[in-house]
Amino acid sequence: MNGAITFSIIKPNAVRTGKAGPILAMINEAGFEVIAMKMVRMTLEQAESFYEVHKGKSFFDSLVEFMSSGPVFVMILRHENAVEEFRKLIGATDPAKAEPGTIRKLFAISVQMNAVHGSDSDENAQRESDFFFTTSERY
Ligand code: UDP
Ligand code: MG
């Protein structure tokens, strides 16, 4: 049984360039229901903690600096088979490899600044949702 929720971030590059609205419209049109959302600016320490699974990788320091460089939209999304369906909607990590019509193909400007985050498993969807949202912030 696949999970009903996934967690997403509209990353600083996309927020900064006014793409949050168009990205949210695509998420909505694809049938995802927003059950929690807020705008936050992560501290460096929060970004390091959120991405701790990547600690030690070559791109880690640069990634956490980028992710804390400006406000982001964090959200929990509901959909059948949410994790897999959302990863299809956003496309590959590297926008050069993303399918046409995906959010990353349309809005990414590099592998790092790839516009959106999407959880990679039901377990991480729970962990990442709990990282940002209390129970009373979910609808
Ligand atoms: N990333 C990067 N360089 C890389 C791989 C990843 O800057 O070579 C960044 C990119 O922003 C990516 C994030 O690190 O979205 C997390 O990487 P992951 O492999 O988990 O990709 P995702 O699950 O976001 O597709
Ligand atoms: Mg990932």
Q: Identify the pLDDT of residue 2.
A: 80
Give the count of domains, the chain: 1
The residue among 72, 67, 73, 81 whose CA lies nearest residue 6 is 81
Kindly name the residue from 11, 19, 79, 117 that is annotated as catalytic: 117
- Domain span at residue 61 reads 4-137
| 2 CA from centroid of ligand 2 (Å) | 18
- Which CATH number goes with the domain that contains 53? 3.30.70.141
The reported pTM is 0.97
- For the chain, 139 residues long, the average pLDDT of each consecutive 10-residue run is 90 98 98 98 98 98 98 98 98 98 98 98 98 98
Token pair listed for 42 = 């992560």
